[in-house]
Every structure is written in C-alpha cells, then in structure tokens.
Amino acid sequence: PSNLHPVRQKDKAIGRRNYVIGQMADNGYVTREEARAAEAEDLVSVQSGAIASARSEMPPRDYFTDEIRRQLSASLGDEELFTGGLTIKATVDPDLQATAARALRDGLEKFDRDRRVYRGPAGRIDPAKFDPAEYTVDEALWRRALAETPVPRDIEGWRPAVVLSIGETSARIGVEGVEETADGHFLAFSDAKWARLRDGARLREARGPTTCGTWAT
C-alpha cells in the first residue's frame, strides 16, 4: 500500500511488519524469542538500495534469456517481472549455452576467413588530421579517435584496434582497453594474409595475443 512504503513511510512499514510478527507469535508460528529477534531487524528493500534489484541479477543477455524475458514481460508486465520477486526456471544449461555460442562464433569466424574476403576497416583516420609519427608517442590521440569509432564492443574476447604504423612483416596496433607497453603490440602479416593494412586504418576487432606475442585479427 502507498501509505506503507518501505522508504517514504519506513516507520509505519516497520510497525505493520512487527504487528504481523506479533500475530505469528500469538498463533504459535514462531517463538517469542524468534519474534523479538525479527522485530529488532532493520527493514531493508530493493527500493532503499539495501537489496540488489532483480535487474542486476539477470543472467547474461542472449537469444534464449531475451525470449524468456520478452514472453514474461508480455504476459506479466515489466513491473511484476522485475519487482515481483519471481523465481524463473528454464531448461537451458548456462554452461552448455556458453560453450555452444563460442563454438558457433569460432566456426563462423573460420568460415569467414577461409573465404579470404576483407571488407575493409570499420573506419579511417584522416592522415591530414594527425601526424602519423605522433600516434606511437601520444597515446591519447589514437585512443580518443578509436573510442569515437562506432564498432561492436560486446563480443567476448574481441576489442577494437587501430593500426599505428606498418613495417615489413607486421603492423603496430593500439588496442582499446589494453595498456601500451614499451615494445608495443603487433599484428603479424602472416596472421592476416586475407587483409591488406594501411596506415590509419582501424581494424574491426583485435584478438589475441597469439602464442608468438603478436595480435591476430
């Protein structure tokens, strides 16, 4: 009820709670000692932030859980779904689901690369805008430019990267979310035979490092 809100009318809500606890003790559902201990407890709730919301306890989003969420939201409404204290059981095994998703993703990646089709970078940095030599010196320049690039950032194990310079056998790259080192991070051309890299080109994602210490796309 609106006049017993656990935050705005906390004292009234506690009074009502303690009344119910007293009735439980009077009718033999709990002992007097248990009732006194319960009445001494604070009143905590999701609304006060003392208890995590069901939204924060949701499993990782995927097609299966999204479909469950969609159907329950349609039948119960968002308010009941997220605040009704529901326990929802499904047939999916989260570990097997994650394994299946990784296997599918790896298979699609292999199939795509076996076709040896390079669709180009997600974006390009205008060479006239920055001095390419500064990229290996001023990390903030390329990190800012890369952060402004609209690419997917929710693919497990993948990160956007920018090509900083190109050598005879490899390209030096900067990887979003990965700290730069004195030696730098490199993409060996042997790991990306299907792609032609150019100065200033931003890769869609960088993955690795590989066993040889370079980054593979």
The residue to which tokens 């990782």 are assigned: 60
Measured distance between the N- and C-terminal CA atoms of the chain, rounded to whole angstroms: 57
Question: Residue 126's pLDDT is what?
Answer: 64
Question: Residue 27's pLDDT is what?
Answer: 95
* Domain regions of the chain by residue span: 2-83, 123-206
Two tokens, residue 95: 């570990």
183 to each of 86, 133, 137, 171, how far by Cα in Å?
52, 16, 12, 13
Question: Residue 210's pLDDT is what?
Answer: 38
Mean pLDDT split into 10-residue runs, the chain, 217 residues = 79 93 95 95 80 62 82 89 82 85 89 79 66 62 80 82 86 87 84 61 48 38
Question: Residue 103's pLDDT is what?
Answer: 93
Residue type, 71: Q
Which element (helix H / strand E) includes 163? strand 159-166
- Please, which residues have CB within 8 angstroms of residue 97's CB and are 6 or more apart in sequence? 62, 64
- In this prediction the pTM is 0.48
As a whole number of angstroms, the distance between CA 140 and CA 143 comes to 5
Question: Residue 25's pLDDT is what?
Answer: 95
- Alpha helical stretches, state H, the chain: 10-26, 32-39, 63-76, 78-83, 94-114, 132-135, 139-147
As a whole number of angstroms, the distance between CA 172 and CA 188 comes to 9
